Chains A and B, each alone.
Chain A
Amino acid sequence: MIPELGHFALILALSIAMIQAIFPLAGISLGKPQWMALAKPAARAQFLLLGISFACLVYAFVTDDFSVKLVASHSNTQMPIIYKVSALWGNHEGSLLLWAFILSGWGFAVSVFSRSIPTVMLSRVMSVMGFVGIGFLLFMIMTSNPFERLPFPPPEGRTLNPLLQDFGLAIHPPMLYMGYVGFSVAFSFAIAAMLGGKLDAAWARWARPWTNVAWIFLTGGITLGSWWAYYELGWGGWWFWDPVENASLLPWLVGTALIHSLAVTEKRAAFKSWTVLLAIFAFSLSLLGTFLVRSGVLTSVHSFAADPERGLFILMFLGVTVGASLVLYAARAPKLKSTGRFDLISREVGLLVNNIALVTLTATVLLGTLYPLIIDALGMGKISVGPPYFNNISIPLGTVLLLMMGAGLFIRWKKDKPERLIKILRIPAIMALVMAVVLPLLFVPEFHWRTVLGLLLASWVALTALLWFSSQGRSPFKKPLSVWGATLAHLGMAVTVTGITLTSMYSIENDVRLEANKPGYVVGEYEFKFVKVENHQGKNYKAIRATVDVFQNGKPLETLYPEKRDYGPGTMPMTEAGIDAGFFRDLFIALGEPVGKGAWSFRIYHKPFVRWIWLGGILMAIGGLLAAFDGRYRRTRKIFLQERKNKQANKVAKQGATA
């Protein structure tokens, strides 16, 4: 009964989405305000219905209703309740429902927090969101019904992929989806503004906080995913340039460009068409990401079962969305006159360079990701594009980006003097250079230009951010939240770059063979001694657990217990690494396999500064959060309400005068 209710709510949501998409738009062109007024209640009803649908599916998972196919194939009674819930989105159908639910949530939020937006604009925005909703709901109802029943329910379900039975991964997909789907808001605003033909600074101001919030979630989701890959996949890597990872990075890069470009459009009324284009691309790349993950066209650890029909549907949806947006763009762009004037040396141009670097990076990563697909489709063989490709392109482009990131903060809008900039930037530049050369000389075993470059860029970004923060007048707690946000986000980037540089340059990674109670394996000042292997019973798995004593300079430091877990028939074995985490270094040990004569193979890693990678991600997300709650967005509303009041007062006064 409950699953049918969920299914029914899903179908109702589709019809409501159609109303939300069609009526407001029709109302605008036919001049019927009643039809336009349907936009808000429709968005709220859709949120309610999808909420019901989602809750029904959660209920089915939590109560182990194995008559629902999805539950039977992804969950069982033995799993802890949190993984029963997260099993909902650990599969294709459920994750689509989550997608649609989050989309309706964003629609609901826009309908609630957008009182300052004129009705016509809001109706258009809601209508565009309605169209996106129709696409996803149709997809779900036609090809991937999450509520499908089994005629003969099994007594026990299969299990969720053990890799996904982890707290980090329980919340990783929702975070990522919040980000992906969040870009649909900026997209809807851009399309709505184009439909209206009025692309003034106002749409940028409305779209900015929404874009920020979406970006925060995406940043958080990617950070979480990277952290999870590090401790859960058992090879101690934090980024593999896997197609699906790239799929989440692409919208992030364009989203970052969009945030900065929106600032220019709002403040200086420049880059109008460019910003619109970025908004379209950010959302299109989110859709592309969904397509890549869901269709299984790429060989990846993340792909769910391949299903060409589904892939085709998303590809068509993507084609229609991108195609229609670009046609609209082509029709409207010539009319978009950017009014803001600026010189060659100006913050506008700085942000433009930063934007171009980000977009170029996006394009090259996209090419590397899709290249194997293209080559295969052309029948030219099967290739894989390795991490060196991505490293080779991201280092030079990242260099341009980070140099600009530091300088851009100080360049004035419109026009600036190079002499003035040089005077200000001289000090942080010299300090960064000194740090980049001296620190490696003091602390690291080998001197390498990549270390110097990485540290130079990181300290440059950090120093300029701090200098800029202190130059913003006022005492720290009176500064606007956006200043705090920008500073934190830039500092976060510097922290991440430091982490990436030092981890990639100075990690020691070895696959070794250890015999029990023999002299251990030495990495720097650490020694790993293999003590024993024993069986261990977990809540819903059996494990082989090794005991490894770690010594630092001969003194006992810690005992690590890397495991190999078995979650029962039909699942793959899992490697659970033993990690001694630290602010400056991680010790990582993963259990391999028995290699004869009582010996086992181990992966032993020493990873300096690896935590900084995710710490930086967290800082960036917090920075984005602060910026999104900056007071000026609320002030905009106040001003608007005040203006409306004045207008009405004027009207009344006029009417009074004529009468």
Chain B
Amino acid sequence: MKARQKRLIFVLLGVVAVVGASFLITKAMQGNLAYLYAPEAVLAGEVPTDKVIRLGGLVKKGSLKRSDKTLEARFVVTDNRGNEVTVVTNKILPDLFKEGQSSVSRGMLKDGIFYAEEVLAKHDSSYMPKEVKDVLKKEHTPAPVKDTVK
């Protein structure tokens, strides 16, 4: 095979790889990115209800309630500024889950209640997920996370 033809093959393979990869990436990214929201954004109605999102905040003290029959647990996520959202889950809560501590839940919002598929808790006594810290910190912005998404 001539050098020119060989170069052509290389270029073609490269193009196929790049086009294929971009196609796969755009397709895979659709619906698989979960944005993090604060309770405030949920209450302000800025959260899509047809997508999986993540909700971050503190678990309100005394808010954890369990069902007698099933595994269902309910708790309230707050930002300590009066914005509260109820979370319902049928999954086992993580070992580190505690009232008054931070948590991030992944799931969907329906009629003002957040149905979580997964609940994550903070890692150790001195550590708060950076994401949650950032969400809690932004006191003055009306919609802590989403405001930057234009």
Which residues of A are interface residues toward B (Cβ below 8 A)? Answer: 299, 301, 305-306, 341-344, 349, 352-353, 356-357, 359-360, 363-364, 367-368, 371, 379-386, 388-390, 392-393, 396-397, 511-513, 564, 570-575, 592-593, 595-597, 601-603
Contact A573 B96 (CB under 8 A): yes
Quote the shortest CB–CB distance from B12 to chain A (angstroms).
10
Q: Is the CB of A512 within 8 A of B1?
A: no
User: Considering the complex of A and B, which 9 residue pairs feature the smallest CB-CB distances, nearest first?
Assistant: A392-B28, A592-B92, A382-B36, A389-B32, A573-B95, A389-B28, A388-B32, A513-B71, A393-B24
Residues facing A in B80-120 (CB within 8 A) are 90-93, 95-96, 106
Q: How far is the CA of A399 from the CA of B149 in the complex (A)?
A: 36
- Whether B27 and A392, one on each chain, are in contact in the complex, defined by CB atoms closer than 8 angstroms, is yes
Q: Which residues of A contact B28 (CB under 8 A)?
A: 364, 368, 388-390, 392-393
Contacting residue for A383 out of B20, B33, B69, B135, CB 8 A: B33
Would A513 and B70 count as touching, CB distance under 8 A? yes
Taking CB atoms, residues of chain B closer than 8 Å to A602 are: 92
Q: A299-B130, A306-B130, A349-B9 are in contact. Are A593 and B145 (CB under 8 A)?
A: no
Partner among A344, A352, A386, A603 whose Cβ is within 8 Å of the Cβ of B92: A603
Whether B123 pairs with A301 at a CB distance below 8 angstroms is: yes
Chain B positions within 8 Å of A384 at CB level: 33-34, 36, 54, 106
Task: Determine if B145 and A381 form an interchain contact, defined as CB atoms under 8 angstroms apart.
Answer: yes
Q: Does B17 contact A (CB under 8 A)?
A: yes
Known contacts A360-B17, A363-B21; is A381 also within 8 Å of B92 by CB?
no
Structural contact, A593 and B13, CB atoms closer than 8 A: no
Additional A-B contact list (15), CB under 8 Å, known A570-B125, A572-B95, A596-B66: A299-B130, A353-B13, A364-B21, A380-B149, A381-B36, A381-B149, A382-B36, A382-B131, A385-B33, A392-B32, A397-B20, A397-B24, A511-B92, A571-B124, A601-B71
In the bound complex, what is the Cα–Cα distance between A349 and B1 (angstroms)?
A: 12
Q: Provide 12 A-B residue pairs closer than 8 Å at the C-beta atoms, listed in order of the A residue.
A: A301-B123, A356-B14, A356-B17, A359-B17, A360-B21, A382-B135, A383-B35, A385-B32, A389-B33, A390-B28, A392-B24, A593-B93
**A344 and B9 contact, CB distance less than 8 A:** yes
Residues of A within 8 A of B13 (CB): 352-353, 356
Chain A interface, >50% SS class: mixed
Contact yes or no, A342 B1, CB < 8 A: yes
A390 to B35, CA, bound (A): 17
CB distance from B81 to the nearest CB of A (A): 19
User: Which residues of A lie under 8 Å from residue B69 when comparing CB positions?
Assistant: 513
The answer to whether A382 touches B145 (Cβ under 8 A) is: yes
B residues less than 8 Å from A385 (CB atoms): 29, 32-33
Identify the B interface with A (CB < 8 A): 1, 6, 9-10, 13-14, 17, 20-21, 24-25, 27-29, 31-36, 52, 54, 66, 68-71, 73, 90-93, 95-96, 106, 123-125, 127, 129-131, 134-135, 145-146, 148-149
Closest to B148 in A: A379
A306 to B54, CA, bound (A): 23
Give the residue name and chain of the A residue nearest to B29 (CB). A389
**Contact among B33, B54, B68 for A596, CB-based, below 8 A:** B68
- Cross-chain contact A597 with B33 (CB below 8 angstroms): no
On whether the beta carbons of A572 and B96 are closer than 8 Å, the reply is: yes
B135 contacts which chain A residues (CB < 8 A)?
382
Residue of B nearest to A372 (CB): B33
CB nearest neighbor in B for A392? B28
Please determine whether B24 and A512 come into contact, CB atoms closer than 8 angstroms. no
The closest CB in chain B to the CB of A342 belongs to B1
Contact flag A393-B25 (CB < 8 Å), given A379-B148, A381-B148, A593-B92? yes
Known: A511-B71, A603-B92. A396 touches B9 (CB 8 A): no
A477 to B73, CA, bound (A): 62
Partner of B34, one of A352, A353, A383: A383
Nearest-neighbour CB distance to chain B for A631, whole angstroms, equals 33
Chain B residue numbers with a CB within 8 Å of A367 are: 25
CB closest residue in chain A, given B52: A386
In the complex, are the beta carbons of B145 and A601 less than 8 A apart?
Answer: no
Closest approach, in angstroms, between the C-beta of A381 and any C-beta of chain B?
A: 5
Q: Which of B35, B52, B68, B92 has the most CB of A within 10 A?
A: B92
Shortest beta-carbon distance, A144 to chain B, in Å? 19
Query: Which of B20, B33, B96, B134 gathers the greatest number of chain A CB atoms within 10 Å?
Result: B33
Assembly CA distance A593 to B73 (angstroms): 12
**CB < 8 Å neighbour of A511 from B20, B54, B91:** B91
Give A603 to B90 CA distance when docked, in angstroms. 12
By the criterion CB–CB under 8 Å, are B20 and A360 in contact?
A: yes
> What is the distance, in angstroms, from B137's C-beta to the closest C-beta of chain A?
12
Which of chain B's residues have a CB closer than 8 A to the CB of A306?
130
Give the docked Cα–Cα distance between A513 and B32 (Å).
30
* With contact pairs A383-B34, A389-B29, A392-B27 given, residues A575 and B95 touching in the complex (Cβ less than 8 Å): yes
Chain B residues with CB under 8 A of A390: 28
Q: Is the CB of B71 within 8 A of A597?
A: no
Is there contact, CB below 8 Å, between B1 and A343?
yes
- How far, in Å, is B150 (CB) from chain A's closest CB? 8
B residues less than 8 Å from A389 (CB atoms): 28-29, 32-33
List the A residue with the shortest CB-CB distance to B129.
A299
B90 partner residues in chain A, CB cutoff 8 A: 511
List residues of chain A with CB within 8 A of the CB of B145: 381-382
Q: Given the complex of chains A and B, what is the CA–CA distance between A602 and B73 in angstroms?
A: 14
CA distance A381 to B130 in the complex (A): 13
Distance between Cα atoms of A392 and B135 in the complex (Å): 30
Please report the C-alpha to C-alpha distance between residue A635 and residue B108 in the assembled complex, in whole angstroms: 63
CB distance from B59 to the nearest CB of A (A): 14
Q: Are B35 and A381 in contact (CB under 8 A)?
A: yes
A299-B129, A344-B1, A595-B71 given as contacts; is B148 within 8 A of A380 (CB)?
A: yes
Cα-based distance from A90 to B34 in the complex (angstroms):
31
Task: List the A side residues contacting B91 at CB < 8 Å.
Answer: 511
Known: A344-B9, A359-B17, A381-B148. A386 touches B32 (CB 8 A): yes
A356: nearest chain-B partner, CB-CB: B17
Chain B residues contacting A360 (CB-CB under 8 Å) are 17, 20-21
Q: Are B9 and A572 in contact (CB under 8 A)?
A: no
State A343–B20 Cα separation when bound (angstroms): 24
A518 CB, nearest partner CB in chain B, Å: 12
Which A residues are CB-close (under 8 A) to B36? 381-384
Contact B21 A574, beta carbon cutoff 8 Å: no
- In the bound complex, residues from chain A placing their C-beta under 8 Å from that of B10 are 352
- Compute how far the CA of A357 lies from the CA of B27 in the bound complex, rounded to whole angstroms: 18
For A303, the closest partner residue in chain B by CB is B123
Say yes or no: B134 contacts A382, CB within 8 Å. yes
